[in-house]
Amino acid sequence: METLQPTLKRGRDVWDRINMPEMEFHRRVEKIREEMKKENIDCLLLYGKGANEYGNPCYISNFAIKMPRGALAAIPLKGDITLIVDGFSRDQPAVKSVTWVDNIRSCRDVAQECLDLLKEQNLIPSTLGFAGLKELMPYPQFQSIINALGRCKIVDAQPIINKMRMVKSFREQDQIRRSSRIIQRAFDRVCSSPLSEMNERVLEATLDYIARMEGAEDIRILVARPMERGWTMRPAENRGISDGEDIITYVAVAFERYWSEGIRTFAAGPSHFKEKTSEDAAALYQKILRMIEPGVAVTQVCKDALGEIQKSPMEYLPQYGLGQSIGLSPRELPRIAMESQDHFIENMCFTLRLALKDKENVSLMTGDTILLSKSHRECLTR
């Protein structure tokens, strides 16, 4: 789901070495270097930026960017890893508190600092792997790198990183469980306790407060009024919510880097909310969920899901999709869409969402974060 990004992430930013020990990152680096050897890559460059797309360098460093800036992790086939951060040297103590990487370089131009590093390590010319640079790096910086590396062979390494990030380790699964529990508690709170005022902003503030008090690093909230014509998901506004009115609420939460999302349709009471359910929608959701197994093609699930929806009394609203993988980004690959070439795999975490309309023209949405194991689909946000 596309949401507004904060200019500055203001949530809890710590590295809990019990939840995510340093050895976890060393194992990832070992696996990456095994793949580098297969592709004859001398150095792998992982780039990320902003509050949504920090996953590439964070995957091996645990460092997440707080502002709309960039960071790059350089992994040589042998030797120490370097973390290049767009920022000032005064920020280094804060960076060092959340990463195991010792070699940290602050700069105002990540591309130029990367080139300086490659020259220092005699990696020009060489074979370099790029992950995230072409897609995420500012165009002038990316062009300066390409122009300076004319003698180097460039390998697209993003598929290697995507494949590794799709499979969640037990540590990662636990982190996503923790972020999912925050969503559960936030939704439970707005259903169990009266709000000071039945207003979109008060609803948003309540959800945000509960998530922050539970240790959320980042939180995104969208709402919709499905009783209104042409409704759409949007940021909360200063609008009252009437008794008996429906409101769809989307919440995504990051806890210690890892995201979960949940969607609920609420019916408003005088001072509280109650989740609105539909037997047809719930049955349809479970049917689609049971289609998802390790090894099944994403396109096949989409075809079968649309077939089940057509047989049901509900109408599918396709604008918000069926979901996607989730982890170090609120939107990871693969997307659950017809154009996907991927397969569901064991130990993958993904979101499954449904937007439906019944015969009486009443719309509702539901969505949860799911962990797919060999023989089980665990709903983490319920």
Any idea what the Cα angle at residue 215 is, between residues 180 and 47, rounded to 5°? Answer: 80
Tell me if 197 sits within 8 A of 209, measured CB to CB. no
Q: Please state whether the peptide bond connecting residue 270 to the residue before it is cis, i.e. omega within 30 degrees of 0.
A: no
Question: Is the pLDDT at 11 greater than 90, yes or no?
Answer: no
Tell me if 178 sits within 8 A of 216, measured CB to CB. no
Confidence of residue 90 (pLDDT cuts 50, 70, 90): confident
Q: Which two tokens stand for residue 177?
A: 């469980």
Confidence of residue 196 (pLDDT cuts 50, 70, 90): confident
Question: Is the pLDDT at 189 greater than 70, yes or no?
Answer: yes
Q: What are the residues whose beta carbons fall under 8 Å from the beta carbon of 207, sequence distance 6 or more?
A: 186, 187, 189, 190, 219, 221, 249, 251
What is the average pLDDT score of the chain? 94
In this chain, the answer to whether the domains covering 22-166 and 170-379 adopt an identical fold is no
CA-wise closest residue to 145 among 110, 173, 107: 110
Q: What is the pLDDT of residue 250?
A: 98
| C-alpha distance from residue 165 to each of 10, 134, 143, 159, 344 (Å) | 25, 19, 27, 10, 13
Domain 170-379 has CATH 1.20.1600.10: no
pLDDT digits (tens, 9 = 90+) for 244-295: 999 999 999 999 999 999 999 999 988 889 999 889 899 999 999 999 999 9
How many other C-beta atoms lie within 10 A of the C-beta of residue 163? Answer: 13
Q: What are the residues whose beta carbons fall under 8 Å from the beta carbon of 241, sequence distance 6 or more?
A: 198, 199, 200, 203, 247, 268
Q: What is the pLDDT of residue 102?
A: 96
Domain ranges of the chain: 22-166, 170-379
Any idea which architecture 22-166 has in CATH? Answer: 3-Layer(aba) Sandwich (3.40)
Q: What is the pLDDT of residue 62?
A: 98
pTM value is 0.94
How many other C-beta atoms lie within 10 A of the C-beta of residue 89? Answer: 11
% of the chain surpassing 70 pLDDT? 99
Confidence of residue 336 (pLDDT cuts 50, 70, 90): very high
How many other C-beta atoms lie within 10 A of the C-beta of residue 243? Answer: 10
Q: How far apart are CA 61 and CA 84, in angstroms?
A: 11
Question: Is the pLDDT at 362 greater than 90, yes or no?
Answer: no
Bridge partner list, 356: 316, 364
